[in-house]
Amino acid sequence: MVKGKDKVSEAVIRRLPVYHRFLTEITEKNVDRISSSELSKLTGFTASQIRQDLNNFGGFGQQGYGYNTVELKEEIGNILGMHHHHDTILIGAGRLGSAIARYNGFKESGFAIKALFDYDEKKIGDNVDGIKIYSMDELEKFIKDKHIEVAIVTVPKQSAKEVIERAIDSGVIGIWNFAPIDITVPNNVVIENIRLNDSLLKLSYYLKERI
């Protein structure tokens, strides 16, 4: 399906979830077809950019007819790997970790949280929405025994590097990192960072320019 796989740039990959988000909204409103220029108005990307992006994966539209919204949403979901299943753990069962553990987007994206881990011995044995909190001492064994693929990291900055390295050494191949650190992972491991502080500083910049 994917043409010239290696050539798909990160910029394209970054736009695919945006298309998926808008297509989800549109299909919920029972809109059957959409043109690239209508998608352009919604997303803010140019129509030619959109056509070019979707051509990377074979192109789905029929000229003059636009895109079938349900099909396109499904196809983009496939490209994004939404129908793959990933057994997942979350490390750092504090406030942010607990909030993230309850986040609804996981199931539909194929991530199933099997356990939480925390350093704080007082939390061990508790659970968040039925997901049990384990001691960090059990991390390596759990990852290996349960073939965990993905770790969500919501520990403080100070312990993030160690935690990520331990997870990868035990077999984790994907990290969703919320800690404000920069870490280089092996080539065969995928890391995706949520940068709360970078986002806040962008807001700060644009407010300063505005005021």
DSSP run (H or E) holding 100 = helix 95-101
CB of 67 to a copy of itself, least distance (A): 18
122, 162 in Cβ contact below 8 A?
Answer: no
Quick one: which segment of 30-38, 51-59, 90-98, 137-145 binds a copy of itself (CB under 8 A)? 90-98
Q: Is 52 or 109 the residue whose CB approaches a copy of itself more closely?
A: 109
Residue 132, amino acid: K
When asked if residue 194 is in the footprint of a copy of itself (CB under 8 A), the reply is yes
Largest CA distance in the chain: 63
Q: Find the binding residues for a copy of itself in span 155-174 (CB under 8 A).
A: 173-174
Q: Find the binding residues for a copy of itself in span 35-74 (CB under 8 A).
A: 42
116, 53 in Cβ contact below 8 A?
Answer: no
5: CB partners within 8 A, 6+ apart: none
* Distance between CA atoms of residues 109 and 162, nearest Å: 27
When asked if residue 109 is in the footprint of a copy of itself (CB under 8 A), the reply is yes
When asked if residue 3 is in the footprint of a copy of itself (CB under 8 A), the reply is no
When asked if residue 84 is in the footprint of a copy of itself (CB under 8 A), the reply is yes
CB of 62 to a copy of itself, least distance (A): 25
When asked if residue 33 is in the footprint of a copy of itself (CB under 8 A), the reply is no
43, 18 in Cβ contact below 8 A?
Answer: yes
For the chain, the helix, strand and coil percentages under 3-state DSSP, each to the nearest 5: 50, 20, 30
* Distance between CA atoms of residues 50 and 16, nearest Å: 10
Binding residue (CB under 8 A) for a copy of itself from 81, 127, 137, 169: 81
CB of 65 to a copy of itself, least distance (A): 25
Q: Which residues would be at the binding site for a copy of itself (CB under 8 A)?
A: 5, 13-14, 16-18, 20-22, 25, 42, 79-82, 84, 86, 94-96, 98-100, 102-103, 105-106, 109-111, 149-150, 173-174, 176, 180, 182, 188, 190, 192-211
